[in-house]
Amino acid sequence: MSGEKKIRVIELFAGVGGFRHGLEKANKDLFEVVWGNQWEPSRKAQDAFDCYSRNFSSGIHSNQDIGSVPDSVFQELAPDLVVGGFPCQDYSVARSLSGEKGIQGKKGVLFWEIERVLQNSHPKYVILENVDRLLKAPSSQRGRDFAIMLATFNNLDYNVEWRVINAADYGHAQRRRRVFIFAYKKDIAYNQEQKQFGLDEILYKNGFFAKAFPVLGTPYKNRINRLPCLSTDRVDLTENFKFEFHTTGVMRDGEILTVHTEPVEKSPTPLRDILLPEEVVDEKFYLTESMEEKFKYLRGSKKVERTTADGYKYMFSEGGMSPTDGLNLPGRTMLTSEGSVNRSTHIVEVNGRKRFLTPIECERLNGFADNWTAGMTDRMRYFCMGNALVVDLVERMGQELEKIEVHKDEDHEISQLAFSL
């Protein structure tokens, strides 16, 4: 391939840099992160941003409220790819006081900032990550918020794929389910190539996610749903939307096909494989007798009478779980409360002693390099890993994007050479 190809990247809501780390693992020479933004509101200490800055030297590192960044910054950056993990919030859109025009929902909703970035920078590709409940939010009107997002992409001239991915299904060490969204401009070559395929072919075989994360060729329990034309009116969607999204889907020019797919599974990495040698584990990570008793209660089955603030009594019940996490299984989903005396915290037993996972082991659960978060307190290291994505999944997406963006240029050069001969 002639010349040095670069994919210019903007990373939004960067955290400790999971997207960037994954893309650089895929091809550090190809993906050039020119601007990364991380800002934690209402916090004096900016631990995640400091971690990001320690681990990456190139590009602009922005530590300011994304809402205060001028449009001109995004216009000048001219990215090819925008990536980011963002909060699951209320994306509803209301009518103005005159009742004529839609206005954006609550202030501070970060998806509207993503929309603003795209409006001003027009990247060819977008990859976003969120919790899988996004597809069913809000509980009072299932799927509405995701429909508003899809309509936003359609209005900005993007087609979209999405997939709920459990990292353990594809060989990794954590049973972490997240929805990933891949959007691409309608005027680029990749969209023209995809147009030759039916929507079902994209979902099962020829799409971005199908190639990076293969699935079986039939829907699970025949869970499949179609929508001929998604409304472009976000106010109308807010007020009237009714539709069920499944774990995999594609939207092309407003037409939607969504299916509950099953992965072509690869054996997961067991917890045993990510543990440090016991001789290097600090004594502070081992449980005391009182902690063991507390965890025995927390992880056991229980029925407890509770009383609400207004005096109503009810029975709270909870099923039991294993006293420790099996070393031959992948880890459970790590939460921001990891490392605390909490039911969701991982507890491993090695050589007859129970302990927490160390921060390094939590980094390994997400595919980060050892000591990626070194320099902050253990509590913050756990918190940051509970917020992070599985880097290895992004690496696969980066490899697939490289095939789309780079190899097509190689094919074009070969065909041009053949024509000249």
The burial class, CB within 10 Å (0-12 / 13-18 / 19+), for 240 is exposed
Assess contact for 31 and 101: CB atoms under 8 A. no
Spatial neighbors of 389 by CB under 8 A, at least 6 apart, are 18, 19, 22, 85, 129, 176, 178, 366
88 has catalytic annotation: yes
CA gap 136, 203 in Å, rounded = 20
CA dihedral 165, 160, 122, 18 (to 10 degrees): 0
Helix (H, G, I), strand (E, B) or coil at 130: strand
DSSP label at 200?
H
Assess contact for 210 and 204: CB atoms under 8 A. yes
The CB density around residue 330, as the number of other CB atoms within 10 Å, is: 24
Residue tagged active-site, from 51, 88, 362, 384: 88
CA gap 356, 352 in Å, rounded = 14
Which residues in 163-197 are b (16+ Cβ under 10 Å) and which e?
A: bbbbbbbbebbbbbbbbbbbbbbeebebbeebeeb
End-to-end Cα, the chain, rounded Å: 18
Phi first, then psi: give them for residue 340, nearest 5 degrees: -100, 170
> Known catalytic residues?
88
